Amino acid sequence: MDSLSEYFQSYLTALETYDVVAALWVNIQLTFWAGLGSLVLGTVLALMRISPVPSFRWAGAAYVNIFRNTPLTIIMVFCILVAVFQLQLNLSSDFDFNFFLWAIIGLSVYHAAFVCEAIRSGVNTVPLGQAEAARAIGLSFLPAARLIVLPQAFRGAIAPLGNTLIALTKNTTVATVASVAEAAGLMKTMIEFRPDVIMAIFATFALGFVVIVIPIGLLTTWLSKKLAVAR
Amino acid sequence: MAAPTGAAARAASGQPLVQLKDVNKHFGALHVLRNINLEVTKGEVVVVIGPSGSGKSTLCRAINRLETIDDGDILIDGNMLPSEGKALARLRADVGMVFQSFNLFAHKSILENVTLGPIKVKGMKPAAAKELAMGLLKRVGVDNQAHKLPAQLSGGQQQRVAIARALAMKPKVMLFDEPTSALDPEMINEVLDTMVQLAKEGMTMIVVTHEMGFARKAADRVIFMADGQIVEQATPEEFFTNPKSPRAKDFLGKILNH
Ligand SMILES: Nc1ncnc2c1ncn2[C@@H]1O[C@H](COP(=O)(O)OP(=O)(O)OP(=O)(O)O)[C@@H](O)[C@H]1O
Ligand SMILES: [Mg+2]
Q: How far is the CA of B175 from the centre of ligand 2 (A)?
A: 12
Q: Does A137 touch chain B (CB under 8 A)?
A: yes
For residue A177, name the pLDDT band (cuts at 50, 70, 90).
confident
Q: Which of A126, A137, A227, A231 to mutate to test the interface with B (most CBs of B within 10 A)?
A: A137
pLDDT at B91 over 90: no
Q: What is the pLDDT of residue A88?
A: 81
What is the helix (H) or strand (E) element at residue B196, kind and residue range? helix B185-200
Which of A209, A206, A207, A204 lies closest to A8, judged by CA?
A204
For residue A94, name the pLDDT band (cuts at 50, 70, 90).
confident
**Rounded Cα gap, residues A187 and A174, in angstroms:** 13
Q: Is the CB of B30 under 6 A from ligand 1?
A: yes
Q: What is the pLDDT of residue A206?
A: 93
Q: Mean of the pLDDT values across residues A52-81?
A: 94
Beta carbons of B121 and B130 less than 8 angstroms apart: no
Which residues lie at CB < 5 A from ion ligand 2? B 57
Which of A92, A111, A122, A100 lies closest to A37, judged by CA?
A111
Q: What is the pLDDT of residue B14?
A: 66
Q: Give contacts of B116 with chain A, Cβ < 8 Å.
A: 137, 147
Q: What is the pLDDT of residue B54?
A: 95
Q: What residue's CA is closest to ligand 1, atom 17?
A: B57
Give the count of beta carbons closer than 10 Å to the beta carbon of residue A127: 14
Task: Identify the closest residue of chain A to B95 by CA–CA distance.
Answer: A136
**B120/A127 touch (CB, cutoff 8 Å), yes or no:** no
* Torsion angle, alpha carbons of B62, B65, B68, B70, to 10: 60
Q: Mean of the pLDDT values across residues A168-176?
A: 92
Q: Give contacts of B86 with chain A, Cβ < 8 Å.
A: 140
Residue-range domains of chain A with CATH: 22-183 (1.10.3720.10)
Q: Is the CB of B89 under 6 A from ligand 1?
A: no
Q: What is the pLDDT of residue B176?
A: 97
- Min Cα distance A218 → chain B (Å) is 23
Beta carbons of B99 and B158 less than 8 angstroms apart: no
| pLDDT tens digits along B107-157 | 999 999 999 999 999 999 999 999 999 999 999 999 999 999 999 999 999
**What share of chain A in percent tops pLDDT 70?**
100
Q: Which of B109, B120, B124 to mutate to test the interface with A (most CBs of A within 10 A)?
A: B120
Q: Does B170 touch chain A (CB under 8 A)?
A: no
Task: Identify the closest residue of chain A to B150 by CA–CA distance.
Answer: A231
pLDDT at A24 over 80: yes
**Rounded Cα gap, residues B195 and B113, in angstroms:** 19
pLDDT at B72 over 60: yes
**What would the 3-class secondary structure string for chain A be?**
CHHHHHHHHHHHHHHHHCCHHHHHHHHHHHHHHHHHHHHHHHHHHHHHHHCCCHHHHHHHHHHHHHHHCCCHHHHHHHHHHHHHHHCCCCCCCCHHHHHHHHHHHHHHHHHHHHHHHHHHHHHCCCCHHHHHHHHHCCCCHHHHHHHHHHHHHHHHHHHHHHHHHHHHHHHHHHHHHHCCCCHHHHHHHHHHHCHHHHHHHHHHHHHHHHHHHHHHHHHHHHHHHHCCCCC
Q: Mean of the pLDDT values across residues A126-134?
A: 96
The number of the ligand nearest the C-alpha atom of B49 reads: 1
Q: What is the pLDDT of residue A2?
A: 78
Q: What is the pLDDT of residue A89?
A: 82
Q: What is the pLDDT of residue B13?
A: 54
pLDDT at B84 over 80: no
Q: How far is the CA of B227 from the centre of ligand 2 (A)?
A: 13
Q: Give contacts of B120 with chain A, Cβ < 8 Å.
A: 139, 143, 147
**What share of chain A in percent tops pLDDT 90?**
71
ipTM of the complex: 0.89
For residue B29, name the pLDDT band (cuts at 50, 70, 90).
very high
Q: Mean of the pLDDT values across residues A21-30?
A: 93
Q: Does B92 touch chain A (CB under 8 A)?
A: yes
Q: What is the mean pLDDT of chain B?
A: 91
Q: Which of A55-69, B7-21, B162-176 is least confident?
A: B7-21
Task: Identify the closest residue of chain A to B108 by CA–CA distance.
Answer: A148
**A231/B121 touch (CB, cutoff 8 Å), yes or no:** no
Q: What is the pLDDT of residue B15?
A: 79
Pick from A132, A135, A152: which is nearest to B107 by CB?
A152
Q: How many CA atoms lie within 13 A of A87 on its CB side?
A: 9
DSSP SS3 for B14? coil
Q: Does A154 touch chain B (CB under 8 A)?
A: no
Task: Identify the closest residue of chain A to B101 by CA–CA distance.
Answer: A129
**Rounded Cα gap, residues B136 and B128, in angstroms:** 12
**Rounded Cα gap, residues B76 and B64, in angstroms:** 9
Q: What is the pLDDT of residue A92?
A: 82
Q: What is the pLDDT of residue A1?
A: 58
**Rounded Cα gap, residues A65 and A62, in angstroms:** 5
Radius of gyration of chain A (CA): 21
Q: What is the pLDDT of residue A180?
A: 85
**Rounded Cα gap, residues B226 and A95, in angstroms:** 74
- Min Cα distance A128 → chain B (Å) is 9
For residue B256, name the pLDDT band (cuts at 50, 70, 90).
confident
